[in-house]
Chain A
């Protein structure tokens, strides 16, 4: 069994990201055209000169035709991919492998979601015919199982823990308030969040990701060609994906305080990228804060905090914009919004502007010589999820 990765074989040379909004006036096609155009212009390449396309959308469209038609791509290989909330990252992963394999010189990974046309709250999975015995719980409720479990395992007062995750939302809103593309550009205090009525377990709507429409895209080329497009390309250091076997929902030993799929993907990614101390080597991390407890657990599963200490690191500001390891500097899913197919690529977009010193000054991270960023997605639920971890860097080697 091997997971060798493709470290330094492929580079991102252009990116684009639309605002994440309730885009009542834009269709999926509009969002795709906008994101693709931004990415092509960023890389200085035309859509005709790109060899292949991977289009990630969770449930807004099907097949490559749904990208080829609005972009009028003629005679191109266009593939639609889906992998729950890791869909956008999955599109990039496939595009990178396509280029690394030698099959193509260049490719676009694009992700988009049009969720606000449904008229429903939250995200709703497309119903697949089944025997009627599946859980019908919301994702919020599944993730709400984390807090009491974590409080019990690490003997943290539940009220205290409530404040910890509110603090995560406060941080992400602080960052999002400094991001013109974000859905919610407003600071919200932990106090306010704690006062909100619960909707699922102890979680309020302010503990949930914003639900938004949006699209993001990346242009990837062979690493040796990268400097022809851009002076500071982002080199792909690691791409790791783990799909869980659902054992957490069956195994009484699983205690809802960790996401084993995420920990496994992180271990694989660090190995591919040659990272041994992520907390001190990464300039920033974009992680999947679909619900506030997710980000807490991820700090530990991604190796930023020792198990049982993530909560105190959150309180001490370790992951703040000016902290030891800034996390979700663009506002995260919480504040930036979560158009499922676009989210992974949106995270890459933040790494793209932060590592290249192009982020708006009021939320620009001081990289302190660190040249790498981590991108993480998860899709599914505690006990049954897919997880993606990617690492990019501005330097070869």
Chain B
């Protein structure tokens, strides 16, 4: 008997900042459009956003992934695996393999298909950070986001959605492309690419339905994702089913993450027993069809896409350009920080990536960072690891540092006291320096502090609890 495969849990991450598309033309005289796009902060990349989505996905399940697959077209590194950073931040066991699926937007849907088709509990993370030339359609339409889906079998635990079947169609044609090293994509005339997808979609849709043993009328909602906006919009009509919100007005097209983002958003609003078809237009067509279960009602992530999309602050267009490296500003006259030491980072991996402190078992005192000798104790090596990434804390005191080096000055810095013990002086993020106050509640978030010698320095910051 073939095991029923499907989705054990899921989570999405949409960064805190939004760009008003109208602001683009206000500054540049052209470009922009209606609505808002999500913007990764200066201290985020596809890896850190992937961590946040994955943390959310794993928060609602007891199931531990056996594999972690990370897919992006804006990788923080090449040659080096990015999934290993997420693996470390999630504190997964060494035996859990962490792999990157890169190169093309299609890889994200492909990795989900491969995970569903496999036999392991695989956490499929997709993340994207969309950059376009100032005033371009890419700039305006793009959005930054990450999604994480834990796939597995019914025997692993209650599936939130069962995989029913799907199909794949592949063709070689020039739609969106980018030479390695470039940050901005180019596109062919979209009336051409629309028809190229048009030649594939109907057969793929038929094949997907047949593989699932369904008729078109059985499908409650189709989720269509793809970089090619015209093809997505027009070809969706041909499916003859209800099409889910594309989130373009509030988040934008998040590229490699968009299929996961839209699927998650649809799951957020679905009831048990609904059939959801995921259709991805990317150098061909991928169709994956799911049926939600009653477990969905209690298995949804604590933070839905709509919550993420509704919890934001506006970023000025000029700031956005600085964050994306499209505009350089003068830095404080302070030395930029150096690269982190690889041996030190490995020795302290649990701390640096996992935010694991230590508790002195003789005194109960929390130590951040972990140490061998405890404060107020003569004991050495009487410590137990203390994971603190999910702890909440309160700002005991804070300051705004306009002198310190930062990719986006000023640095807002607080002394945070955690519930249940432990203190750390740490940088705040996703915060307006004029709004921070003693007593504010914060949680931890995984961020990229700076990059030196091509090495990204990842660690944790605190951000306000909102919503």
Which residues of A are at the interface with B, using a C-beta cutoff of 8 A?
Answer: 118-122, 124, 127, 129-133, 135-138, 140-142, 144-145, 148-149, 152, 198-201, 245-247, 249-252, 254, 256, 383
List 20 additional contacts besides A127-B337, A141-B411; criterion CB under 8 Å: A124-B335, A127-B338, A131-B341, A131-B345, A132-B352, A132-B449, A132-B457, A132-B458, A136-B411, A137-B404, A138-B403, A141-B403, A144-B399, A145-B399, A149-B397, A200-B401, A247-B376, A250-B368, A250-B375, A250-B422
Contact mask for chain B residues 434-459; partner A; CB cutoff 8 A; 1 contact, 0 none:
00001000000000010000000111
Between-chain CB contacts (< 8 Å), 20 pairs: A121-B333, A124-B334, A127-B338, A130-B344, A131-B341, A132-B337, A132-B457, A132-B459, A133-B348, A133-B459, A141-B403, A141-B413, A142-B425, A149-B397, A200-B399, A201-B399, A250-B368, A251-B365, A252-B396, A252-B423
Nearest residue, chain B, Cβ from A125? B335
B377 to chain A, nearest CB (A): 11
Residues from chain A with Cβ under 8 Å of B345 in the complex: 131-132
Main secondary structure of the interface of A (DSSP, over half): loop
Q: Which of B375, B397, B402, B425 contacts A200 (CB 8 A)?
A: B402
A283 to chain B, nearest CB (A): 36
| Contact in complex: B401, A250 (CB < 8 Å) | no
Main secondary structure of the interface of B (DSSP, over half): mixed
| Contact in complex: A120, B402 (CB < 8 Å) | no
Residues from chain A with Cβ under 8 Å of B426 in the complex: 135
| Contact in complex: B404, A136 (CB < 8 Å) | yes
B347 CB-CB contact with A under 8 Å: yes
Residues from chain A with Cβ under 8 Å of B335 in the complex: 118, 120, 124, 127
Most buried by A among B341, B369, B415: B415
| Contact in complex: B341, A140 (CB < 8 Å) | no
CA distance A132 to B448 in the complex (A): 10
CA distance A129 to B449 in the complex (A): 16
Most buried by B among A138, A140, A256, A383: A138
Residues from chain A with Cβ under 8 Å of B348 in the complex: 131, 133
CA distance A316 to B341 in the complex (A): 51
| Contact in complex: B399, A129 (CB < 8 Å) | no
CA distance A119 to B351 in the complex (A): 34
Residues from chain B with Cβ under 8 Å of A200 in the complex: 399-403
CA distance A149 to B413 in the complex (A): 15
A304 to chain B, nearest CB (A): 25
Which residues of B are at the interface with A, using a C-beta cutoff of 8 A?
Answer: 332-335, 337-341, 344-345, 347-348, 351-352, 365-369, 375-376, 396-405, 411, 413, 415, 417, 421-427, 438, 449, 457-459
Given contacts A131-B340, A149-B397, A256-B397, contact A251 B423 (CB under 8 A): yes
Q: Which of A133, A250, A256 contacts B351 (CB 8 A)?
A: A133
| Contact in complex: B457, A140 (CB < 8 Å) | no
CA distance A200 to B400 in the complex (A): 5
CA distance A294 to B354 in the complex (A): 35
CA distance A186 to B402 in the complex (A): 26
Nearest residue, chain A, Cβ from B455? A132
Most buried by B among A127, A148, A247, A252: A252
B414 to chain A, nearest CB (A): 9
Given contacts A121-B333, A127-B338, contact A138 B404 (CB under 8 A): yes
Residues from chain A with Cβ under 8 Å of B368 in the complex: 250
Most buried by A among B351, B423, B427: B423
CA distance A249 to B368 in the complex (A): 9
B244 to chain A, nearest CB (A): 41
| Contact in complex: B334, A140 (CB < 8 Å) | no
Nearest residue, chain A, Cβ from B393? A252
Given contacts A131-B345, A250-B423, A252-B423, contact A122 B367 (CB under 8 A): no
CA distance A148 to B337 in the complex (A): 28
Residues from chain A with Cβ under 8 Å of B411 in the complex: 136-137, 141
Nearest residue, chain A, Cβ from B373? A245
Residues from chain B with Cβ under 8 Å of A198 in the complex: 400, 402
| Contact in complex: A122, B341 (CB < 8 Å) | no
Residues from chain B with Cβ under 8 Å of A127 in the complex: 335, 337-338
Residues from chain B with Cβ under 8 Å of A129 in the complex: 338, 341, 344
Residues from chain B with Cβ under 8 Å of A119 in the complex: 333
CA distance A119 to B405 in the complex (A): 14
Q: Which of A122, A247, A383 contacts B334 (CB 8 A)?
A: A122
CA distance A131 to B402 in the complex (A): 24
Residues from chain B with Cβ under 8 Å of A142 in the complex: 399, 425
Residues from chain A with Cβ under 8 Å of B347 in the complex: 131
B376 to chain A, nearest CB (A): 7
Residues from chain A with Cβ under 8 Å of B400 in the complex: 141, 198, 200-201
Given contacts A138-B334, A141-B411, contact A131 B404 (CB under 8 A): no
Most buried by A among B366, B368, B411, B422: B411
Residues from chain B with Cβ under 8 Å of A120 in the complex: 333-335
Nearest residue, chain B, Cβ from A141? B401
